[in-house]
Amino acid sequence: MHRYFLKKIRKRFNLSKPVGRKYHDINPEDIFLDSTNLPGFEEHALQGRIERPMGGETFTVLKIFLACLVIALSAKLWFLAIVDGKVYAEISDNNRLEQTLIFANRGVIKDRNGLELAGNAIKDAGSDFAARLYAPMEGLSHVVGYIKYPQIDRAGFYFEENYRARDGVERAYDDKLKGTNGLKLKETDVSGKVTSESIIESPLDGEVITLSIDAEVTEELHKAVKALANERGFSGGAAVIMDVNSGEILAMTSYPEYNQNALTTGMDQKSFNQLLESPRKPFLNRVIGGLYTPGSIVKPIVALGALNEGIISPEKEILSTGSITVPNPYDPAKPTIFKDWKAHGWTGMEEALAVSSDTYFYSIGGGFGGQKGLGISLIDKYFQLFGLAETTGIALSGEAEGVIATPEWKAEKFDGDAWRLGDTYIAAIGQYGTQVTPLSAVRFVAAVANKGKLLKPSLLLGGEPDPVERTIVFKEKDWKTVHEGMRKGVTYGTSVGLNVPYVNAAGKTGTAEIGSGKSYVHSWSVGFFPYEHPRYAWAVIMEKGPATNSVGATSVMRTLFDWMSINASHYFE
């Protein structure tokens, strides 16, 4: 039995003796003994099973399936690429998905009466944004300003996403006016035709801004400045009217000006260069950026300073003979003569203001003939108090800071030259190195009118929440003296051209000599109305006119007053 099994095993495992090698017989008991010692396997979990290779039939079926799949995919690819390839390529080329801007409409700018000064109009169908249009009125360019449109590159994409505000209120309140742009997805074909679009973010239009400006009053004021400049040879001019209680600007204009619509739409480079290079400076807002020697318009400040320091009483009179003579300690034969514009005789303070006596203000400014003067330090103090050497803080850009002539200023400008008594005389009448803007002038006149409140000017209806920057304290009788002097300036003095029946005004003129040989002058008119309860102050400057001219800035306000008496008399109430 054992031999039989042994023989079978040898045959099964090919255990016959090889040539040259001797094998021992395998004992069958050893084989059966090993089988009993095999480890236990859970055959139902496929443990201990011997893996069998895939059968030939199964492999053949798998190969056929894979071959069919490859053939199907290849056929589909051939169909898309060869049969319909041209169609799908054209669809791909002809459609494009873009993210584009939706430009917000810029906020509208209105005057105090609701008149639209800057608005929007729908442009042609190819435009992505509304056109900016300005009211066809004179005198408003520097106040309202202008804008430039967003620009595109050669590929037709916008590299600027907002309007560019260039001047005036457009620039000062750009954050409120510009709004917020929206976004949309747009699909176009090869010809640029929109096939579909959807809004991602809706645009938010800019705010409406209402100005304190009365556009019609401003236009008439501008016309008056323009007419006088052209008729009498002034190189330019500016005018401003301010509410003496709120600081609101009722009118502001500068001549010459620029064309807002032309600059916004775009003009050729040659024309633009001519504007830039013009000696008349049409881009200069003279109200805030023009610095002018004030002349006699500062005399009310000098008068208040003298009264406050107690160096003179309102009733004391000083003799004006047409000039004062100051001895020269180094050469008695060559005294210095300071001229008055005419001999006024004996004048008290009110009359000195009314007739603008230089002799009177030489005396109380620098001292003369036994009359004590303020001196340059106190003159500087009071000029500073009324804000002549500071900006007003108006929202417009480009405001210039004033200058006051002092010993320090002279030493800097004239290589250490010493300050002399004559310099104080000239400074007391607003000549020499002192320079102010028309806006600074109207602000200090408003402070005189309202008896001490120095205001922050505003172009917005309602003014600043707290317009009073500081309060200047003087005795009530001192304010009254200066008011009376300026009122007499209208009833019989240098501002008599404003002595009209429909409104009582108080005024002061100023004539500043400039240029080589003093052949040119700046002509000033300042004041306030109505006199009984002041509401508005004004300042008008006519720039660089012939010294021989006899018609000055006062005529501008007279022209305006005549127009207002018919068309805007409510401002006189």
Same domain, yes or no: 562 and 442: yes
The pLDDT, as a whole number, for residue 127 is 78
**pLDDT tens for each residue of 141-173:** 999 999 999 887 776 677 778 899 999 999 999
Q: What is the pLDDT of residue 386?
A: 98
Residue 507: both structure tokens together: 């005024």
Percent helix, strand, coil in the chain, to 5, is: 40, 20, 40
Q: pLDDT at residue 21 above 50?
A: no
User: Which of 176-180, 328-332, 437-441 comes out lowest in average pLDDT?
Assistant: 328-332
Is 561 domain-assigned?
yes
Between the ranges 151-160, 277-286, 322-331, where is the mean pLDDT highest?
277-286
User: Do both 138 and 244 map to the same domain?
Assistant: no
Last residue of one domain, picked from the residues 169, 189, 210: 210
Q: Which residues pair with 187 in a beta bridge?
A: 97, 196
- Paired tokens of 346: 């004996």
Residue 5 counted as domain residue: no
Is the predicted pLDDT of residue 20 greater than 50, yes or no? Answer: no
Give the three-class secondary structure for 397: coil
Q: Tell whether 220 and 196 lie within a shared domain.
A: no
Burial of 169 (0-12, 13-18, 19+ CB in 10 A): buried
For range 203-208, the mean pLDDT: 96
User: In this structure, is residue 46 part of a structural domain?
Assistant: no
Domain boundary among 146, 181, 210: 210
Let me know whether 319 and 197 are in one domain. Answer: no
**What pLDDT was estimated at residue 185?**
84
Q: Is 50 exceeded by the pLDDT of residue 263? A: yes
Per-residue confidence (pLDDT) for residue 312, from 0 to 100: 98
pLDDT at position 378: 98
Round to the nearest angstrom and report the end-to-end CA distance of the chain.
146
pLDDT score for 101: 83
Residue that finishes a domain, picked among 193, 210, 227? 210
Q: Note the pTM of the prediction, 2 decimals.
A: 0.82
Evaluate whether 396 touches 285 at the Cβ level (below 8 Å). Answer: yes
Q: Give the pair of three-digit tokens for residue 154.
A: 């050669």
Whether 229 and 201 share a structural domain: no
The residue whose two tokens read 């004239």 is 414
Per-residue pLDDT band for 85 (boundaries 50, 70, 90) equals low
| 388 within a domain of the structure (yes/no) | yes
Percent of the residues in the chain that have a pLDDT greater than 90, as a whole number:
69
Query: Could you read off the pLDDT of 30-70 as tens digits, one per residue?
Result: 545 455 555 555 555 555 555 556 566 776 777 787 788 88
Q: Is residue 479 part of a domain?
A: yes
Q: Are 187 and 223 part of one and the same domain?
A: no
- For residue 119, is pLDDT > 70? yes
Beta carbons of 497 and 555 less than 8 angstroms apart: yes
Judge if the upstream peptide bond of residue 256 is cis by omega within 30 degrees of 0. Answer: yes
Is the domain of 420 the same as that of 302? yes
| Long-range contacts of the stretch 470-479 (C-beta < 8 A, 24+) | 472/385, 472/386, 472/447, 474/304, 474/307, 474/308, 475/307, 475/308, 476/451, 477/314, 478/304, 478/307, 478/308, 478/314, 479/304, 479/448, 479/451, 479/452
Q: What is the CATH number of the domain that holds 179?
A: 3.90.1310.10
Q: How many domains does the chain have?
A: 2
Whether pLDDT at 514 is above 80: yes
pLDDT in tens, 398-457: 999 999 999 999 999 999 999 999 999 999 999 999 999 999 999 999 999 999 999 999
CATH number of the domain bearing residue 424: 3.40.710.10
Judgement on whether residues 267 and 410 belong to the same structural domain of the protein: yes
Query: What pLDDT, on a 0 to 100 scale, did the predictor assign at position 23?
Result: 45
**CA–CA gap between residue 249 and residue 394 (Å, rounded):** 10
- Beta-bridge mates of residue 284: none
Round the average pLDDT of the chain to a whole number and report it: 88
All residues at 6 or more sequence positions from 529 whose CB lies less than 8 Å from its CB, including other chains: 503, 504, 505, 506, 535, 536, 538, 572
Within a domain: 51: no
> Parallel, antiparallel, or unpaired: how do β-strands 209-210 and 109-110 relate?
parallel
| More confident site: 67 or 521 | 521
Same domain, 185 and 273: no
| Type of residue numbered 40 | G
Give the model's pLDDT for residue 229: 98
139 versus 36: the higher-pLDDT residue is 139
Distances (CA, A) of 138 to 215, 224, 255, 257, 489: 9, 11, 10, 9, 31
24 found inside a domain: no
Domain that holds residue 104: 98-210
Domain annotation covers residue 510: yes
- Residues 327, 335: contact at Cβ < 8 Å? yes
Q: Looking at residue 73, what is its pLDDT?
A: 78
Which tens digits make up the pLDDT trace of 471-513?
Answer: 999 999 999 999 999 999 999 999 999 999 999 999 999 999 9
pLDDT reported for residue 128? 83
Task: Say whether both 458 and 550 belong to one domain.
Answer: yes
Contact 335, 362 (CB under 8 A): no
Same domain, 272 and 184: no
Residue 9 structure tokens: 């095993």
Which H/E stretch holds residue 175? helix 174-177
Tell me: do 181 and 262 sit in the same domain: no
What is the per-residue pLDDT for 345?
97
